[in-house]
Amino acid sequence: MTDTLLLGQTIRFVADPFITPIEDAAVIDQRGSVLIRDGLIADVGNADDLRAAHPNAPTIDHGDALITAGFVDAHMHYPQTAMIASWGKRLIDWLNTYTFPEEMRFEDPAYSSEIAGRTLDLAVAHGTTTLTSFCTIHTESVDAFFGAAAKRNMAVVAGKTCMDRNAPEGLRDTAQSAYDSSKTMLEKWHGAGRATYAITPRFSPTSTPDQLAALGALWAEHPTALMQTHLSEQTDEIEWVKGLFPNARDYLDTYEAFGLLGERGLYGHAIHLEPRELEKLAEVNAAVVHCPTSNTFIGSGLFDMAGIKARGIRTGLATDTGGGSSFSMLRTMAAAYEIAQLRGTALHPAQLMWLATEGSAQALHLGGQIGSLNVGATADITVLNLASTPAIAQRSTRAGTLWEALFPTIMMGDDRAVAQVYIAGNAA
């Protein structure tokens, strides 16, 4: 048994601050403490109380820094790390011009490993302890990502991206090979250590009905796996889907009709939804993933957080690297705040922090295990310096409450704000 007591300001959630009043949903302790035992959170509370209860535990004092659950990125593309912030274009041009040529390179296991390691290290440097990633069509890219995460003992979600049309030669599989390779990867990685497998049809324009049906069948055979894809990101994409699936009632129906709609489904973007799609997502308790920096960068539209949460649809938050323009979940929270403002709703910092931790974890069906400082969760922890730059410091010293002290870091912070990260209790 190895104990470590972290001291600092703490913030943790005991309920969803979109539903429960913030003062009841969030527990703040300005002299807080977290006891890590064997990689898990074993106790949490006031520093004096925990010191008295665990007098022999070695302590690490983080001073005024804020101890929070590590950030959970619920949708990203690790193969796009090296081409993040590529200029211009609408989604489909952007995919063809920048993304697909880069993804071709992941046939090479050495390149896959290099970028997988680089991505995970960048994520941790930004305070993110879990990534949910699309890989490429190559199984090499899947092995590289899960392998690099296992080396770092990180909880990750990922899957082989499947595409059998509307993608270049070299980036296409078939219905059968997508099924076979996904099954092999799923059986190898799902539940191995901290890994979770997500069956991954990229989006309906790049899969034939046969491929979608094959992946739907695979999901039915492995119902504990997740399924991740894209949904209603851009209006011209939606028009394209209508042309490709003339019998579908809407975009969501192109998944639903093939067994790809369910509680463990993760639907990235989900911006331009029809009433039926919203009803259906709520009915099956599926999760949508908000990718705000991507939605502004590629010009996709303004996600309706208030409407989605009012319908009770589970929601995660994500960078969508490299359509997204930042590895930072702080920057991602800032963009979520700005988009909500443009839709007439001001998200509270508690709601932003919840989305980036517990909300994403719940979307991934990993609630209680990650994204939480509550007892029993794995000790994936991020410590934030709330005065990381002169501009932030001069603002946060004026703050009356922790929320006021934290908000400038959410709006203006980056990797400089990350003082320390713990992965399963070990300093990263």
Binding mask 312-351 for Zn ion (x = CB under 5 A): --------x-------------------------------
**Alpha-carbon dihedral of residues 337, 266, 382, 422, nearest 10 degrees?**
-170
Task: Give the count of residues interacting with Zn ion (CB under 5 A).
Answer: 2
Among 119, 294, 360, 362, binds ligand GUN (CB under 6 A): 294
Rule CB under 6 A: say whether 164 interacts with ligand GUN: no
Rule CB under 6 A: say whether 272 interacts with ligand GUN: no
319 or 351, CB closer to ligand GUN?
319
29 or 233, CB closer to ligand GUN?
233
Rule CB under 6 A: say whether 233 interacts with ligand GUN: yes
In the complex, least distance from residue 205 CB atom to ligand GUN, rounded to whole angstroms:
8
Torsions phi, psi for 181 (to 5 deg): -70, -40
Q: Is the peptide bond before 117 cis (omega within 30 degrees of 0)?
A: no
The Cα-based distances of 10 to 16, 127, 247, 420 in angstroms read: 17, 15, 52, 14
Task: Give the count of residues interacting with ligand GUN (CB under 6 A).
Answer: 12
Rule CB under 6 A: say whether 202 interacts with ligand GUN: yes
Among 230, 272, 290, 331, binds ligand GUN (CB under 6 A): 230
3-state secondary structure of 86: coil
Q: Whose CB is nearest to ligand GUN? A: 323
Q: Residue 251 CB: number of other CB atoms within 10 A?
A: 27
- Rounded-to-integer distance, Cα 142 and Cα 122, Å: 18
Interacting residues of 228 by C-beta distance below 8 A, sequence separation 6+ = 75, 132, 134, 157, 159, 198, 199, 200, 265, 266, 268
Q: How far is CA 202 from the centre of its chain?
A: 16
323 or 425, CB closer to ligand GUN?
323
In the complex, least distance from residue 273 CB atom to ligand GUN, rounded to whole angstroms:
16
268 or 371, CB closer to Zn ion?
268
Site for ligand GUN in 13-42 (CB under 6 A): none
**Residue among 4, 12, 92 at smallest CA distance from 51:** 4
Site for Zn ion in 233-272 (CB under 5 A): 268
Q: Are strands 287-290 and 265-269 parallel, antiparallel or unpaired?
A: parallel
Among 81, 99, 321, 328, binds ligand GUN (CB under 6 A): 99
Torsions phi, psi for 280 (to 5 deg): -70, -45
Tokens representing 417 are: 């704000």
Binding site for Zn ion (CB under 5 A): 268, 320
Binding site for ligand GUN (CB under 6 A): 77, 91, 95, 99, 202-203, 230, 233, 294, 298, 320, 323
